[in-house]
Amino acid sequence: MPAIRILYFASLRERVGRASAELPGDDPLTVAEAWSRLNPALPLPPNTLAAINHEYVDLGAPVRGGDELAFFPPVTGG
């Protein structure tokens, strides 16, 4: 099973201290569980947004091997 690729953007990348990470893909996880497994000392900041394969998802959504999971703060474009 391919790995889960995790991306962090903007201020969240700076808080976490890295732009990307990986998790084994053979373990069923939710978005929230993926966060706490990777960042056990850092509670998920309120208002954090998540996307799987470029689609917004809830924190309870399942993540599978091969997925690209992104965490980022509220967006400020335009």
Partner 1 sequence: MAVRIEIREHGFEPLAELAAHQQALDARLAGRYGATASFIGTMRDHNEGDDVRGMRLEHYPGMTERELARLAEEAVERWSLLDALVIHRVGELLPNDPIVLVAVWSAHRGAAFDACRWIMEALKSRAPFWKHETLPDGSRWVAKNTTG
* DSSP-based three-state secondary structure for 67: coil
- Measured between alpha carbons, how far is 45 from 53 in angstroms, rounded to an integer? 21
Q: Are 31 and 61 in contact (CB under 8 A)?
A: yes
73 contacts partner 1 (rule: CB under 8 A): yes
32-51 residues near partner 1, rule: CB under 8 A: 49, 51
Print the binding letters for residues 4-33 with partner 1: x by CB under 8 A, - otherwise: ---x-xxx----------------------
DSSP 61: -
Interface segment toward partner 1; rule CB under 8 A; list 25-33, 34-42, 57-65, 70-78: 70-78
72 contacts partner 1 (rule: CB under 8 A): yes
